[in-house]
Chain A
């Protein structure tokens, strides 16, 4: 049986007196395209931070590629794209090439320089996100959507098996959101990259994803996107915290 790439066993997390997550069990397998959705304050970003090792759970265990998170050293196998708005200072004097190249920092290791052929790797990573003509542009001169593509290229350059994205379309204009998700879909299907993302764009993302996890401090549903239809109104209300209306457009599910 394949080892899950990410497994969370009974994870709980508490910020001082506030319980942020309770008894989370989640398994992410190779090839999954999982969207973690939920209302504001439901613990989505906290959950990602726990997976990434930025926060230590107060209870439970995180297994990455079958190993306990504290013993997992190959961090380059997990690519991370943070929320654009929090990520960087737009006045930073760096080219797209310099930013993408920096994604190799962990893979290369301390005290080693970038390899001589690093430009080829940068070009390939940029090509996979449709940004190959922007290598010499200043990162701050790009639009929000283009910057997010560059950050995905930075994550891809170390050939990760999993790509984790925290609300990647914040600051991206609605016109480019759909093409952004199509690109993620392409990476999932053609490059066999497992994708986990936190999002509010349930509508825009629904065509691309394979799995959904509905989170509100605990997991209310985790399964194939189509199975989400089976959630009763009571379950939906328990998840979202107030009454929600489910709209079904062909194979899209919106809440």
Chain B
């Protein structure tokens, strides 16, 4: 396996970007989950797919756009979708969750229009939906590296503000924090992570990598610091086990990563139950 990684660039790209995403997706995921925004990842991933399909269609129709990496338009669509979600959440103050199905349907509709229009895209569709070990290019890897740097910069700059906003939004506003702007930035960074994670995990499973490691970590964490630590550990574990098994079993990595995440989640649920019954202490 190590031999193959050293020999083939596509495996290096897949593993390097997988390891980076295994950190940033659950890291941001902790804030997404505690803010009860888990479904936003699903909505934005569908918008990203529409952006990618649109990009492929445009690159075929407009010659000058032929060399454009479809991920760029995917990222643009995702960020635009995140800003629309924010706008809709403010517009429907008392029904904030409405923003998610609205944006998700918009993403699906544009996806349904552009996928048949973009010639040849249907054959790649499976890899976009469930991820692919062989599809990550060196350029995709660099995009993931840049997104990771943005996430680290954002979280290190606004960590304490995000904690307050997540824990008690009214208190955050009463304390004079620029809650609105921090939230908009948070949504944009979330959109970037979703678009960046897509090549490895796939559109349909990207939200799982953001939420499942966090769900498992929350079962065993007593502090916020611990929740972040365990989320990253579980995210990395899922990515490593998932990518290795996808390589050997010739499966889509999105599926194997998410199955590993589900197993980790089940183990944390069971371990808490066993501990509760004193099974582990005996």
What residues make up the interface of A, taking CB atoms closer than 8 Å to B? Answer: 52-54, 73, 75-76, 80, 82, 86-89, 91-95, 97-99, 102, 105-106, 108, 110-111, 113-114, 136, 138, 154
Please give 8 more A-B residue pairs, beta carbons under 8 A apart, in addition to A92-B167, A93-B218: A54-B173, A76-B175, A87-B171, A93-B223, A93-B224, A105-B172, A111-B157, A138-B223
B167 is contacted by which of A75, A97, A102, A114 (Cβ under 8 Å)? A102
| CB–CB A80/B223 < 8 A | no
In the bound complex, residues from chain A placing their C-beta under 8 Å from that of B164 are: 102, 105
Q: Is B177 an interface residue (CB 8 A)?
A: yes
Q: Which residue of B lies closest to A75 (CB)?
A: B176
Interface residues of B in 137-191 (CB under 8 A from A): 157-158, 160-161, 163-164, 166-168, 170-177
* B222 on interface, CB distance cutoff 8 Å: yes
Contact B223 A95 (CB under 8 A): yes
In the bound complex, how far is the Cα of B167 from the Cα of A87, in angstroms?
8
B90 within 8 A of A: no
> Considering the chains assembled together, what is the distance between the CA atoms of A105 and B174 in angstroms?
12
Q: Which residues of B contact A93 (CB under 8 A)?
A: 34, 217-218, 221-224, 226-227
Q: Is B93 an interface residue (CB 8 A)?
A: no
Q: Across the interface, do A94 and B167 meet the contact criterion of CB distance under 8 Å? A: yes
Decide if B160 touches A105 in the complex (CB within 8 Å). Answer: yes
For A81, the closest partner residue in chain B by CB is: B171
Chain B residues with Cβ below 8 Å from A95 are: 222-224
Bound together, the chains give a CA A95 to CA B227 distance in angstroms of 11
Contact among A87, A98, A111 with B163 in the assembled complex (CB-CB below 8 Å)? A98
CB contact between A106 and one of B170, B176, B221, B225 (< 8 Å): that residue:
B176
Residue in A closest to B166 when the chains form the complex, CB atoms? A92
Q: How far is the CA of A99 from the CA of B175 in the complex (A)?
A: 14
Q: Is the CB of A105 within 8 A of B170?
A: no
User: Is residue B36 contacting chain A, with contact meaning CB distance below 8 A?
Assistant: yes
Tell me the bound Cα distance from A108 to B175 in angstroms: 12
Q: Is the CB of A110 within 8 A of B171?
A: no
Chain B's nearest CB lies how many Å from the CB of A35? 20
Query: Taking each of B34, B167, B172, which has the highest tally of chain A beta carbons within 10 Å of its own beta carbon?
Result: B167
Closest B residue, CB atoms, query A88: B168
Whether the pair B34, A98 counts as a contact (CB closer than 8 A) is no
Q: How far is the CA of A87 from the CA of B168 in the complex (A)?
A: 6
> Number of B residues whose C-beta is below 8 Å from A?
28
Query: Is B168 a contact of A106 with CB atoms below 8 Å?
Result: no
Contact B223 A94 (CB under 8 A): yes
Q: Which of B161, B163, B174, B223 has the most CB of A within 10 A?
A: B174
Residue among A76, A88, A102 with the highest chain B CB neighbour number at 10 A: A102
Cβ-neighbour of A82 out of B36, B160, B171, B223 (below 8 A): B171
Chain B residue with the shortest CB-CB distance to A80: B174
A75: chain B residues at CB < 8 Å are: 174-176
CA distance A160 to B223 in the complex (A): 26
The minimal Cβ–Cβ distance linking A80 to chain B, given in whole angstroms, is 4
B168 contact from A82, A108, A136, Cβ within 8 A: A82
Determine whether the beta carbon of A80 is less than 8 Å from that of B175: yes
- Pick the residue among B166, B177, B217, B223 that contacts A105 (CB under 8 A): B177
* CB<8 Å pairs between A and B, sample of 26: A54-B173, A54-B174, A75-B175, A76-B175, A80-B174, A82-B171, A82-B174, A87-B170, A88-B168, A89-B34, A92-B166, A93-B217, A93-B223, A94-B163, A95-B222, A98-B163, A98-B223, A105-B161, A105-B163, A105-B175, A105-B177, A108-B160, A110-B157, A110-B158, A113-B160, A154-B171
For B171, the chain A residues whose CB sits under 8 A away are 80, 82, 87, 154
Chain A residues closer than 8 Å to B158, beta-carbon distance: 110
A251, B170: Cα distance in complex, Å: 36
- In the bound complex, residues from chain A placing their C-beta under 8 Å from that of B167 are 88-89, 92, 94, 99, 102
Residues of B contacting A73 in the complex (Cβ-Cβ under 8 angstroms)? 176
A57 → chain B closest CB, angstroms = 16
Instruction: For B161, give the chain A residue with the smallest CB separation.
Output: A105
A1 to B161, CA, bound (A): 38
| Docked complex Cα distance between A92 and B157 (Å) | 22
Task: State the Cβ distance, A138 to closest chain B Cβ, in Å.
Answer: 5
| Chain B residue with the shortest CB-CB distance to A98 | B224
Cα A115 to Cα B170 in complex, Å, equals 25
- Closest residue of chain B to A108 (Cβ to Cβ) is B160
Q: Does A114 lie within 8 Å of B160, measured CB to CB?
A: yes
Q: Which residues of B contact A136 (CB under 8 A)?
A: 222-223
In the bound assembly, the distance between CA atoms of A73 and B177 in angstroms comes to 11
From 50 to 99 in chain B, residues with beta carbon under 8 angstroms from any chain A beta carbon are none
Chain B neighbourhood of A102, CB < 8 A: 160, 163-164, 167
